Amino acid sequence: MLTAKQHELIRFIQQKLEDTGISPSFEEMKEALDLKSKSGVHRLISALEERGFIRRLPNRARALEVIKLPEDAVTGSNAPAPSPAPAANDSILAAHAAKTVAPSPANDIIEVPLHGRIAAGAPIEAIEGQSSMPVPAALLGPGDHYALEVSGDSMIEAGIFDGDFALVRRADSARDGEIVVALVDNEEATLKYLRKEGPMIRLDPANGAYDPQVYEANRVQVQGKLAGLLRRYH
């Protein structure tokens, strides 16, 4: 049995393949399923892959192949053909696979600027470094991105841990409730949920041990929105 979100995702991937011949980006899947982060997309794709519904084609940034569809998600020409005519369905899947493999991304790995450490607790000075780090292109949507190493534990309930690398899409505004890099008083940066309260800005942690930080709106500048995370396992 698949969950509702798994059903929704595999139908979306299948429709995208039929319409364009290219599997959707993680950003497109996130928006289509109204998820808060791409990590949710990763979990759904992994679950579908483990159950044999899709597979990832190697060495491609955006390449998913639909192996089979759940019975209640299949209609018309996409339905698995019952015996004695399975070849028709096989040819459909083969055609989708061929169209998916055809586009060759310019880069599977993208170098993004690495700008030091950012607090996930109390604000600390944002360090502008000159280094960069390689990031799989599949983790990044459109726009200009940079990376920051997370320091602190105030966002652990959002799945962001000390030592993680936050992948940030540059932006100077954000919707209420989004996780942002906020620059306070032009000198200190922090990673928090953004909340707007009239003339004030509240930066909320995702850890009950920390209190929200409240500032006058003119003291806070949005420097970017969280686009993804990278984690090293030792």
Which residues are catalytically annotated? 154, 192
Q: Are 230 and 164 in contact (CB under 8 A)?
A: yes
- What is the Cα gyration radius of the chain? 21
DSSP state of 25: P
Helix, strand or coil, per DSSP, at residue 147: strand
Task: Give the tokens for residue 105.
Answer: 């991304």
Question: Given 3-state DSSP classes, what are the helix, strand and coil percentages for the chain, each rounded to the nearest 5?
Answer: 30, 30, 40
25-31-35 Cα angle (round to 5): 110
Q: Kindly tell me the burial class for residue 191, based on how many C-beta atoms sit within 10 Å of its own C-beta (0-12, 13-18, 19 or more).
A: buried
Q: What CA–CA distances, in Å, run from 144 to 74, 174, 226, 229? A: 38, 15, 12, 16
DSSP, res 57? P
